[in-house]
Structure 1
Amino acid sequence: MKSQNRTFSTVARLAVLATALLLPVACSSDDGESSSGGDAAITVTGAFGDAVVEQTPERVVALSTTDADFLLSVDVTPVAIPKATATDPTTGGTGIYPWEEGRYPADTPTLATPTKDISLESVAALDPDLIVATGFYGLDQQTYDSLSSIAPVVHFDSKPNADAWQDSVRKVGQVLDRTDEAETSIKTADGVIASARTDNPALAGKSYNAIISPSAEGMFVLCSQDDNMARVMKDLGLELSAYAQTVDCDNGKGKVAWENVSALEADLLWVVPDNAEQVQVLDSQALWNQLPAVERGAVATVPKTDGVPFALAFPSPISLEWGVGQLVPQLAAAAGK
């Protein structure tokens, strides 16, 4: 039940929002450590400012699927399903990924979460007392300031989806007074990964490349060990190829032209196409077919529409519990060839 002494009513939030759209909102922060305990306010830091939570939130808005996952992992249901049009081919337009099925009430509304110009009015209309945006790529200082006029905004320390997923889960658990649930969800997911690694020793120490969205112009590859997808792969025992780590990298991905495809040789290759047409493009490239890994069949093709690539690229406890079991058998089969 909603607390009667909430800091903002819906009307008050909308009034403050109208002011925020006209005037810059000052970002306050302090250099103290995050704190909690009893009735004391909880403060968590972020790249654009601190979120100060006076009372345990009851209506929480998530601005990305990953943020929704973090909430669901600590047994808190977001008041709306975050939905981006780019994910429609995977979610069928619902915004709900396979590991989230059955976790939302049937009448839960959706919230459009574009990476540019999110509707502040739509967020305010949901009457949140907390906004979670650790994985929201549309968050900059101006948007953060405007959202903060609606409710405290828990967000990333560095960049969207760049902090270790465990740290983000703990941050969310802290502000919701669910630290035990956060630790339990992390332990469960880490256990799933550890079991998959133990059960598939063929993966240990094998080099890999992730081939993403191949097209006539080339392809993207995973190029940073600090990317969350690469972190999960390393936890499974795999090593990102040395060549991939030399590619010019932006948010963990880099472009490779077809004339350089021979440099992508590795013990196994993970192909992540957007659609079946991209698989055909890849198969039509002579240099690709000449790679020893391709010749011996050490390739696992898992399209984005399956949801599995998202589960590992934007990891959360519940996405990993589902996604690791889907992907690892395919990787292990490729590693054995």
Structure 2
Amino acid sequence: MRITLSTSALPTSALSARARSIGAVVVGAALVAVALTGCSTSDQTAAAGGSTRSIETLYGSVDVPTSPKRIVAIGFTEATTLADLGIKPVGRTNYIPSLDAYDTFFKDIPVVEDANANPDLEKIASLKPDLIVGSEFADKADKAAFAKLSAIAPTAIFEWKPAAANWENEAAGTAEAVGRTADLDKLKADYAAKAAEIKASYQDYLSTHTVDALSGDVDNWYLDGPTSAPGRVLGDAGARLGAGAGQKDGYVQYSPEQYGILADTDLIFVSADTTDDATPVTSNAVFATTKAAKAGQVVQSAHFYSGSYQMANALLADFSKALAAHAG
């Protein structure tokens, strides 16, 4: 049995879609099925075994093993949360955020997707998981597809929101599913302490200057708002958004001619792995007229779309470094 997803509605921007389309494709593909080809899974169904406990998920109450041993993560938020907790899944989604610690951690873990980034249920079943974790948009919940996953192993699916807006809730759900809530609480406290330190250290600058976060390519760019993952992380560290402050959506798409809305922003973060990757944004003539560009206060970060506390801490580190360089 394989779940197949049409990708015709995906954004065309690789940079901006990198994490945003993951929610619709890599994370959600196992649940947003447009075609199912069948095969027998009766001999592949993983029995949870031992004691179970009930947790709340997007699909209601689900009984999961008290101490799962063989976990498959079909979402990057769930996979990276497991990594933060020191738990190696037996199978994972192909997309994992770029972080040295994750590159090493996930290197030898089988990917449970085909060449088209569609989760392969045969591969998942062959790993004999006792728990499957992932996420999905609430309005695209597919009970039939969920049932196919649940026939393999108890499946905990948590709500995904655009721009990884509720990554902390997904992390909490994953930790609860594997019985490690107390350990996640320690990671959360460490993150909060780091954010508070930055906020206190640069209080004067942050109270008088604005920050915006965006990603883009030559065709479009995307401005993050306060509910997006970068908006929330930067906000926890005291950032006041400029042009993105009033956005209700996690991100809003604009054309290159509209970079002027960033005219008065003091510090701009661009989602990019390298300076060259940021060039489609930074080389734009309109972007060059912004206050931040003129003052050389444009920085890039490869850690925008936090799906875990390690990623959030990495963005905090980028923010702290930028403030040290530009807030003087």
Partner SS for 2:296:
coil
Which residue of the partner structure matches residue 210 of structure 2? Answer: 207
| 1:114, distance to aligned residue in structure 2 (A) | 8.2
Which residue of the partner structure matches residue 148 of structure 1? Answer: 150
Partner SS for 1:124:
helix
Partner SS for 2:54:
strand
Which residue of the partner structure matches residue 260 of structure 1? Answer: 258
TM-score, scaled relative to structure 2: 0.72
Q: Unpaired runs of 5+ in structure 2?
A: 1-39
Partner SS for 2:212:
strand
Partner SS for 1:110:
coil
Matched, 1:15 2:42: yes
Q: Contact between 2:94 and 2:117, CA under 8 Å: does it hold in 1?
A: no
Partner SS for 2:233:
helix
Which residue of the partner structure matches residue 171 of structure 2? Answer: 169
Aligned positions of 1:89-128 closer than 5 A: 97-104=99-106, 107-112=108-113, 117-128=118-129
Task: Report which of the two structures shows the higher radius of gyration computed on alpha carbons.
Answer: 1
Residue deviations 1:47-102 (CA, integer Å, cap 9, x gap):
23332114321111111332112112223211134313xx6xx75xxxxx313244
**Length, aligned pairs only:** 282
Q: Contact between 1:203 and 1:236, CA under 8 Å: does it hold in 2?
A: no
Partner SS for 1:308:
coil
In structure 2, distance between residues paired with 1:115 and 1:203: 46
Which residue of the partner structure matches residue 85 of structure 2? Answer: 74
In structure 2, distance between residues paired with 1:275 and 1:100: 18
Residue deviations 1:228-255 (CA, integer Å, cap 9, x gap):
22110100111222x4355684xx2221
Q: Contact between 2:112 and 2:119, CA under 8 Å: does it hold in 1?
A: no
Which residue of the partner structure matches residue 313 of structure 2? Answer: 321
TM-score, scaled relative to structure 1: 0.71
Matched, 1:291 2:286: no
| 1:116, distance to aligned residue in structure 2 (A) | 6.5
Of 182, 185, 201, the residue aligned with 1:183 is 185
In structure 2, distance between residues paired with 1:247 and 1:321: 24
Of 39, 56, 60, the residue aligned with 1:49 is 60
In structure 1, distance between residues paired with 2:289 and 2:90: 51
With over 3 angstroms needed to count, the CA separation of the structure-2 counterparts of 1:163 and 1:325, relative to structure 1, is closer
In structure 1, distance between residues paired with 2:294 and 2:147: 53
Q: Contact between 2:135 and 2:160, CA under 8 Å: does it hold in 1?
A: no
Q: Unpaired runs of 5+ in structure 1?
A: 1-12, 19-38, 92-96
Aligned positions of 1:202-241 closer than 5 A: 204-205=206-207, 206-215=209-218, 217-222=219-224, 224-241=225-242
Partner SS for 1:45:
strand
Q: Contact between 1:214 and 1:220, CA under 8 Å: does it hold in 2?
A: no
Residue deviations 1:130-165 (CA, integer Å, cap 9, x gap):
11113799x741432321221222222463775644
